[in-house]
């Protein structure tokens, strides 16, 4: 403002606190970065599943069916994570979702405390259980009426940390032989899942039934996703 002779005498201004707006912008930026990260990881997994499915399937028609089933397993895992804002998922929900379509006659028995696992472990375990169920229904314990599957897990104290143990065990099915040719499932268990669950995770083709077990610190399975690949 000016006085009578036109000289500046006052300054009028306004101060606005934009702290909340800046925080909102930062949160939005972080959200977009996280979303981009997740989308890239998911697309990488889909691409790997597609490549390995086409490589090992006997025909294009079979590849299409197998690929759709594997994508459905991946979608279920994503839905489970979305319920917890992609922070973790209940192992009980993961297991029940994976076995649902294979347990019409109640031959898959599940036992274990409710434990929450991180996103990376959730995706890996969901795919592993899908492959185990599929193979058991085609060639293993679930391919005959007398076959049974036991899925158990627990958390034992190992000093100050918890030691997570998980076991899939088939019984009552046809005589088991180790696969001669390595397909998607073999590569999944030998490469990707070994990286996800550590060296103490492995599959054994016992004559009486397939056994897949995990023994690893629980904290390693509860870490947030920081980038991973499948196969």
Across 55-207, the runs of DSSP E, i.e. the strands, are 89-90, 108-111, 116-117, 148-158, 161-171, 201-206
- The domain total for the chain is 1
Burial 58-73 (b: 16+ CB within 10 A, else e): eeeeebeebbeebeeb
| Residue 199 pLDDT | 65
- The answer to whether residue 3 sits within a structural domain is no
Indicate which CATH number applies to the domain containing 110. 3.30.565.10
The verdict on residue 2 lying in a domain is no
Identify whether the C-beta of residue 152 lies closer than 8 Å to the C-beta of residue 111: yes
- Residues counted in the chain: 231
In a domain, 12, yes or no: no
Distance CA 187, CA 56 (A): 11
Q: How far apart are CA 151 and CA 142, in angstroms?
A: 13
Q: pTM score > 0.85 for this model?
A: no
pLDDT score of 20 = 87
CA 168 centroid distance within chain: 17
Phi then psi for residue 154, to 5 deg, are -160, 170
Q: Could you read off the pLDDT of 95-107 as tens digits, one per residue?
A: 999 999 998 889 9
For the chain, the 3-state helix, strand and coil shares in percent, each to the nearest 5, are: 50, 20, 30
Expressed as residue numbers, the domain containing 171 is 41-221
pLDDT at 219: 87
Q: What is the pLDDT of residues 50-93, one digit of tens each?
A: 888 888 888 989 889 999 999 999 999 999 998 888 889 999 99
Q: What's the CA gap between 218 and 157, in Å, rounded?
A: 10
Query: Does the residue 176 lie in any domain?
Result: yes
For residue 15, being part of any structural domain is answered with no
Residue 34 located in a structural domain: no
Q: Which residues of the chain have pLDDT under 70?
A: 158-160, 190-192, 194-195, 198-199, 224-231
Distance between CA atoms of 114 and 133, rounded to whole angstroms?
21
């Amino acid at each position: 403002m000016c006085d009578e002779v036109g000289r500046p005498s006052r300054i009028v201004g306004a101060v606005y606190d934009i702290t909340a707006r800046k925080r909102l912008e930062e949160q939005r930026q972080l959200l977009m970065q996280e979303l981009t990260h997740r989308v890239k990881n998911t697309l990488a997994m889909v691409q790997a599943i597609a490549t390995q499915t086409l490589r090992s399937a006997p025909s294009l028609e079979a590849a299409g069916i197998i690929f759709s089933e594997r994508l459905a397993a991946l979608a279920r895992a994503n839905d489970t994570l979305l319920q917890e804002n992609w922070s973790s998922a209940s192992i009980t929900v993961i297991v029940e979702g994976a076995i649902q379509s294979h347990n019409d006659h109640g031959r898959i028995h599940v036992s274990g405390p409710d434990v929450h696992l991180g996103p990376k472990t959730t995706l890996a375990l969901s795919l592993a259980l899908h492959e185990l169920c599929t193979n058991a229904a085609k060639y293993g314990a679930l391919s005959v009426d007398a076959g049974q599957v036991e899925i158990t897990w627990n958390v034992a104290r190992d000093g100050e940390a918890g030691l997570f143990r998980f076991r899939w065990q088939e019984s009552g099915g046809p005589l088991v032989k180790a696969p001669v040719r390595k397909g998607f499932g073999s590569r999944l268990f030998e490469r990707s899942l070994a990286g996800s669950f550590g060296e103490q995770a492995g599959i054994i083709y016992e004559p009486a039934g397939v056994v897949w077990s995990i023994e690893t610190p629980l904290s390693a399975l509860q870490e947030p996703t920081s980038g991973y690949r499948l196969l």
